[in-house]
Amino acid sequence: MPNWNEIFNEVQLITQTSRNQADLAITLVRHKYLKVLQAYTKRNVIAYYSGWLSKPGLALSDINDEDKAGFMTTIHKMDRKLGLDLILHTPGGGIAATQSIVNYLQKMFGSDIRAIVPQIAMSAGTIIACCCKEILMGKQSNLGPIDPQLRGIPAAGVRHEFRRAVREIRRDPTKTVVWQQIIGQYRPTFLGQCENAIKWSNDFVIQQLTNCMLRRRKDRTALARKVARKLSDYSRTLSHERHFHAEELLSFGLNIKYLEADPRLQDAVLSVHHSYMLTLMNTAALKIIENHNGVALVKNAPTVPVAPLGLKVEPPT
């Protein structure tokens, strides 16, 4: 299977040989490799890709309730008995939307869902992966901490800061004035919201791991709690941007399968991944939810269209 540069050249070739297909060249190549993957696995495939890496700072690149329309569109008319391979590339998003999407996917496919992470699925993307029966990753793949963020502030960090303030003030009351300046920046009830968000996220992951990925383990409840603790331990991860590799996630207790164990599957998955990354880098697409039949919901960034592969695109008048 081709690497990123070879797929780029393939798109260029289509563009050069048929000018009428220039705008569709990237899509044609993407659909080609989705079909290659599905033909090998004999399972339904849905790719969920966000363009937050190529278009940083744009709203709606995260997981949100609007995404459910994309999943409804792509699942329609699928043979659900074939199960689902869900390819994830996302920075994460809201826990409420994530829980609702997982609930819908499980109603459609039960527990027969595999998460495939070619590169990175952070935060709520990690939560979705934990809701599947297994997670397929390569040496280059990463998941991230599941500690929730409120308005960009780590909820666990806020809780840690409040607890530190209490300890230090008890030991030395003269530090009260210093801590008042820090804690005073938080609005009333914010600590309670952080506590609730942490509990919500952890409880959901524990429930999902117990009922799906770890359901055949005799120690499933204790192991699920261990996994959730490892993924959300702010004092250990230090940052919401922490990247967990496959071997570390295996040590936590997650059911991780290496893409390298099946070279044909690895090639097919990475070809799909390169196709999507090429799309996100060279078009206005901000988010793509697409199945192996080419049925998709594509959300474009609210900007002037990006010209693929150096083609000239006139701005709208």
What is the secondary structure of 153-197 as a DSSP string?
Answer: EEHHHHHHHHHHHHHHHHH-GGGHHHHHHHHTTSPTTHHHHHHHH
Rounded to whole angstroms, the Cα distance separating 296 from 66 reads: 13
| Phi and psi torsions of 256, nearest 5° | -105, 135
What's the DSSP call for residue 309? G
Rounded to whole angstroms, the Cα distance separating 80 from 106 reads: 11
Type of residue found at 55: K
DSSP-assigned beta bridge partners for residue 298: 288
Residue 23 has a pLDDT of 54
User: Taken in order 48, 54, 57, 59, is the CA torsion positive or negative?
Assistant: negative
Residues 6+ apart with CB under 8 A from 198: 147, 148, 155, 156, 159, 232
Residue 15 has a pLDDT of 61
- Per-block mean pLDDT, blocks of 10 residues, the chain (317 long): 66 58 75 97 98 87 94 96 98 94 98 98 96 97 87 73 80 80 76 84 95 94 95 76 93 97 97 94 92 94 57 36
Rounded to whole angstroms, the Cα distance separating 316 from 6 reads: 32
Domain boundaries, the chain: 4-144+243-310, 148-218
State how beta strands 285-291 and 296-300 pair: antiparallel
Q: What is the pTM of this model?
A: 0.85
Type of residue found at 308: P
Tell which residue, 194, 184, 111, has the closest CA to residue 159.
194
